Amino acid sequence: MSTTTATSGRARRPKKPITLVGVDVYVITEDGIPKFDEYGPFKIEFISNRGTKVWPGYVSPDLMLVNWYRCRFNATRPVTDKDVDAFVGELGKKHQWSAVQKLWNYGDEAGFSKAY
Amino acid sequence: MAKHVITMLPGEGTGPEICEAVRAVIDHTGVDITWEYEDIGLDCLKEHGTLLPEKTIKSIAKNKIAIKGPTTTPIGTGHKSANVTLRKMFDLYANVRPAKLIPVLKRPWDKIDILSFRENTEDSYAAIEHMVSDEVAQCLKVITWPGSVRIAEFAFKWAKANGRKKIQCVHKANIMKMTDGLFLEAFREVAKKYPEMESGDIIVDNCSMQLVRNPGQFDCLVLPNLYGDILSDLCAGLVGGLGFAPGANIGDNCAIFEAVHGSAPKYAGMKKVNPSAVLLSGVMMLKWLGETKAAERIEKGVDKVLAEGKHLTYDAGGTASTDEYAQAIIRAMDTL
């Protein structure tokens, strides 16, 4: 007798090789745009607030900021989950964060958006 | 030095020919304007490697006012929208879209005069998207308290200043209790400061149905970004389509006025498209600048040309070119 699972009949997307290439960290602060140290193999690429890039580059002085920043860190070398764990541990000593999202490439395509 | 220095962004496709027609009409009012032409859009990408060059950004930042022709946003992949980039960069948080019945365009309703106030910088337009597994995509819907309060305050102020009576918050807070719930809570908080205005709320799906069945019941709508994007186009469709749909993107210190239709590249160079949407955006711009008489003169000119029906563009059932339509408006303005 064969067994089935609830998901056996679902549509499947063709698989692609998955590569961990960075992390988005959502930081909560009342002190304005956060500043970061170097964290091992992760380097800050941009910081956005409500989806608008606030670092680096031009920021309108009129831009309304809330106390929640999306901070994009790119890996500077091949990294593993262990590197992410260490990175988040270090970052958490200085910054309060609400969530961390790993960034993966699927084949040659980035599985994450850039900030406006 | 001219009284007003305005950044002109002709855009691409039919944008440049539309903007020339619009400029001719606005210049005919005699308002003292220096136009600073700057590049934006896909043509600009080919030439400068970016949809929005630094020079354009600087011009808008300096002048704090711009009028924009249509640009194309690539679908699915490719470059970010120049429109959304501008709105976010200059924090143009209020998208104001009037939809008023145009008598010459036969519609099945007696009255439509709806003002939509779309929050322009948050919601699912925060561009925070991830493939969280290889078969699951996620888009964050970002709604903030200060962002919701300021669009509600903007809407109430605008509505009151323009003699409006009723304002409704459009939401789906019965399902999205945190995000739309916050937007609705902020609206209700602001509404308390305007007891002279009739205020209420309506669920977005019911609002969509009611707009189609009985649009005359609506006055002013305040909406989060995505619902505002969709329903303001619906409202434009009710009154005659995007060819007549002006829009303004307004922040505390900068404003960009633009049509909401696309660049119609297949008609580029043919000078046949309707410039009304950009022209009426220009009318909104003149009012924003305090040039009310000039704005009203153009409005009356447009009304007269549409009522006469002799020089209509193809979308309104005529054969006039973009320039012929604009020249007819200019002649009509001279008779007022």
> How many Å apart are CA B283 and CA B317, to the nearest integer?
23
Q: Note the pLDDT of residue B336.
A: 85
Please indicate whether residue B266 is annotated as part of the active site.
Answer: no
The band of B2, judged by pLDDT with boundaries at 50, 70 and 90, is confident
Please indicate whether residue B55 is annotated as part of the active site.
Answer: no
Residues 6+ apart with CB under 8 A from B276: B243, B244, B302, B313, B325
pLDDT at B114 over 90: yes
Overall average pLDDT of the B33-54 stretch: 87
Q: Note the pLDDT of residue B247.
A: 95
Overall average pLDDT of the B269-293 stretch: 95
What are the E-state strand segments in chain B? 4-9, 33-37, 65-68, 94-100, 113-119, 129-133, 136-139, 166-171, 198-203, 220-223, 248-250, 255-258
Overall average pLDDT of the B127-139 stretch: 95
Q: Note the pLDDT of residue A46.
A: 95
The band of B301, judged by pLDDT with boundaries at 50, 70 and 90, is very high
CATH of domain B108-239: 3.40.718.10
pLDDT at A2 over 70: no
Question: What are the extents of the domains in chain B?
Answer: 1-93+245-336, 108-239
The band of B50, judged by pLDDT with boundaries at 50, 70 and 90, is confident
Overall average pLDDT of the B153-168 stretch: 97
Q: Note the pLDDT of residue B163.
A: 95
Q: Which pair of tokens denotes residue A78?
A: 């091949």
pLDDT at B172 over 70: yes
Inform me whether the C-beta atom of residue B131 falls under 8 Å from chain A C-beta atoms. yes
Dihedral pair phi/psi, residue B94, rounded to 5° = -115, 115
Residue of B nearest to A112 (CA): B130
Assign B61 to helix, strand or coil.
helix
> How many Å apart are CA B153 and CA B167, to the nearest integer?
11
In chain A, positions 43-82, which contact chain B (CB-CB < 8 Å)?
A: 48, 50-52, 58, 60, 62-64, 66, 70
Q: Note the pLDDT of residue B71.
A: 85
Compute CA distances B151 → B156, B210, B312, whole Å.
Answer: 9, 23, 36
The band of B109, judged by pLDDT with boundaries at 50, 70 and 90, is confident
Fill in the DSSP letter of residue B104.
T
Asked whether the bond before A56 is cis by omega within 30 degrees of 0, the reply is: yes
Task: Please report the number of interchain residue pairs, chain A to chain B, with beta-carbon separation below 8 angstroms.
Answer: 76
Burial classification of residue B289, based on how many CB atoms lie within 10 Å of its CB (0-12 exposed, 13-18 middle, 19 or more buried): middle
pLDDT at A66 over 70: yes
Fill in the DSSP letter of residue B76.
S
pLDDT at B285 over 80: yes
User: Which of B41-50, B101-110, B284-293 ranks highest by mean pLDDT?
Assistant: B284-293
Model confidence over A31-55: pLDDT tens digits? 999 999 878 899 999 999 998 889 9
Higher pLDDT, B81 or B4: B4
Q: Note the pLDDT of residue B74.
A: 63
Fill in the DSSP letter of residue A112.
B
- Dihedral class, residue A25 (left if φ above 0, else alpha if ψ from -120 to 50, else beta): beta
| Contact assessment for residue A54 and residue A65, using Cβ atoms and an 8 Å cutoff | yes
The DSSP element (H or E) to which A42 belongs, if any, is strand A42-49
Overall average pLDDT of the A70-78 stretch: 97
Inform me whether the C-beta atom of residue B142 falls under 8 Å from chain A C-beta atoms. yes
> How many Å apart are CA B223 and CA B87, to the nearest integer?
16
B1-93+245-336 matches B108-239 in fold? yes
When mean pLDDT is compared across A59-73, B16-30, B175-189, the lowest value belongs to: A59-73
Residue of B nearest to A47 (CA): B128
pLDDT at B78 over 70: no
CA distance A93 to chain B (A): 25
Q: Note the pLDDT of residue B76.
A: 55
Overall average pLDDT of the A16-42 stretch: 94
| Contact assessment for residue B96 and residue B158, using Cβ atoms and an 8 Å cutoff | yes
Overall average pLDDT of the B298-320 stretch: 92
Could you give the domains of chain A?
18-110 (3.30.70.1570)
CATH architecture of structural domain B1-93+245-336:
3-Layer(aba) Sandwich (3.40)
The candidate with the shortest Cα–Cα distance to B323, out of B6, B23, B13, B63, is B23
CB contact under 8 A, B150 and A113: no
Residues 6+ apart with CB under 8 A from B59: B7, B36, B38, B66
Tokens 């119609």, residue?
B264
Higher pLDDT, B186 or B85: B186
Tell me what ipTM this predicted complex has: 0.91
pLDDT at B48 over 90: no
Model confidence over B250-264: pLDDT tens digits? 999 999 999 888 888
- Picking from A15, A64, A66, the nearest residue to B134 by CB comes out as A15
Overall average pLDDT of the A92-106 stretch: 97
B65, B88, B151: best mutation site toward chain A, by most A Cβ within 10 Å? B88
Q: Note the pLDDT of residue B89.
A: 86
> How many Å apart are CA A82 and CA B172, to the nearest integer?
41
Please indicate whether residue B172 is annotated as part of the active site.
Answer: yes
CB atoms within 10 A of CB A84: 19
The candidate with the shortest Cα–Cα distance to B168, out of B230, B245, B220, B101, is B220
Please indicate whether residue B125 is annotated as part of the active site.
Answer: yes
Question: What integer best gives the mean pLDDT of chain B?
Answer: 93
When mean pLDDT is compared across B30-39, B42-51, B65-74, B320-329, the lowest value belongs to: B42-51
Q: Which pair of tokens denotes residue A102?
A: 């790993």
- Count of residues in chain A: 116
Q: Note the pLDDT of residue B129.
A: 95
- 3-class SS shares of chain B: helix, strand, coil, % to 5: 45, 20, 35
Tokens 């496709």, residue?
B13
Between the CA atoms of B186, B189, B193 and B195, what dihedral angle is there, to the nearest 10 degrees?
Answer: 110
pLDDT at B107 over 60: yes
Inform me whether the C-beta atom of residue A112 falls under 8 Å from chain B C-beta atoms. yes
Which residues in chain A touch residue B134, judged by CB atoms under 8 angstroms apart?
13, 15-16, 18, 106, 111
The DSSP element (H or E) to which B62 belongs, if any, is helix B54-63
